[in-house]
Structure 1
Amino acid sequence: MAMSFDPFTELDRLTGALLGSRQGPRFMPVDLYRDGDRYVLNADLPGIDPGSVDIDVDGQLLTVRANRTADTRSGAKWLAQERPHGSYLRQFSLGEGVDPDGITAHYENGVLSLVIPVSERAKPRKIAVTSGQTTEQHSVTS
């Protein structure tokens, strides 16, 4: 099996190892799609304790935070410690077309799933078209 070598990734890994862990929030990869009358957001958060996940909506801003603690085994001599730990953060602008009160979240197998329903006023609707005379009766006198 052939393996590719990316010098920039290797340099980033070595720099992180020499300078200590990266400061600030970690990257949280997500998939976001619309499925009928809802949006679905799936975020990869492997090894996260579901109790550390914090999701809040402030106006039109959805914020997802999580924390992964470092493995600190006393007396262990680490040969490699490459799995990232620390805080994770992503923010999304919801816009006017969603129902923030109806958002639900579920965490399973390292994936955080949010279901964001489309608001009733943003759903497509049919407009009835009327034709002909108005409902008032006009009489003609002679």
Structure 2
Amino acid sequence: MLRFDPFRDFDAMTRELLGTQAGTARAPRFMPMDLFKAGDHYVLHADLPGVDPGSVDVNVDNGTLTLKAQRSVPSDEGVQWIASERFAGTYMRQISLGDGVDTSRISATYENGVLSVTLPVAEKAKPRRIEVSSLSSGQKSIEPDTSTVDAESES
């Protein structure tokens, strides 16, 4: 049975230009993620469906958070591929962290194909209230010491 596929020629041309063939390992193009702030921490969720949890690597170096994961390629011996659209290989994403993240307290979990990374806000970056005092409340004001200025101008 022959079916008309209007994209067959386009797909063939793309495979030739990019050097990909059906049934071969294709490098993942991206790692979709969400990043949001909740209270005193940031939360990053990255989609990694089908990734072996043991291959997930999260590290931080010099203010850069690096997420890596490996998705294995199934053996294609004796297999005739009809369609091969799922990416296999290494996924990697890097995110620059500002000074406002406490890198020593970063934690990560991987469940149901989603990597969750918690990035706590550093104490120095948290908002704080600054007490404003009034001079009329009995506090002494600091006056410049003019005695040394007068003594220097006399000499």
- TM > 0.5 fold call: yes
In structure 2, the residue matched to 1:55 is 58
TM-score (norm 2): 0.72
What is the TM-score normalised by the length of structure 1?
A: 0.78
Q: Hey, which bits of structure 1, 4+ residues long, moved more than 4 A?
A: 10-14, 21-25
Indicate how the Cα distance of structure 1 residues 57 and 36 shifts in structure 2: closer, same or farther if over 3 A, else same: same
Q: Does 1:38 align with 2:37?
A: no
Residue 71 of structure 1 corresponds to which residue in structure 2?
74
Distance 2:15 2:77 in 1: 22
Instruction: Give the % identical residues.
Output: 52
Corresponding residue number in structure 2 for 1:110: 113
Judged with a 3 Å threshold, the aligned counterparts in structure 2 of structure 1 residues 24 and 76 are, in CA distance, closer, same or farther, namely closer
- Taking structure 1 as reference, are residues 14 and 83 closer, same or farther at Cα in structure 2, changes over 3 Å only? farther
Give the length in aligned residue pairs: 128
Superposed, which structure 2 residues align to 1:1-142 within 5 Å?
11=10, 15-16=14-15, 19-20=19-20, 26-131=29-134, 132=136, 133-134=138-139
Which of 1 and 2 has greater Rg?
2
Higher helix share: 2
Decide whether aligned partners of structure 1 residues 69 and 31 sit closer, same or farther in structure 2, where only a CA change above 3 A counts: same
User: SS at the partner of 2:46?
Assistant: strand
Q: Which runs of no fewer than 5 residues in structure 1 stay unpaired?
A: 1-6, 137-142
Measure, in 2, the Cα distance between the counterparts of 1:110 and 1:14. Answer: 33
Backbone CA RMSD of aligned residues: 2.6
- For residues 62 and 82 of structure 1, the distance between their equivalents in structure 2, rounded to whole angstroms, comes to 29
After superposition, the Cα gap between the structure-2 partners of 1:113 and 1:11, relative to the gap in structure 1 and judged at 3 Å, is farther
Is the CA contact (8 Å cut-off) linking 1:50 and 1:107 kept in structure 2? Answer: yes
Question: Any unmatched runs of 5+ in structure 2?
Answer: 1-6, 142-155
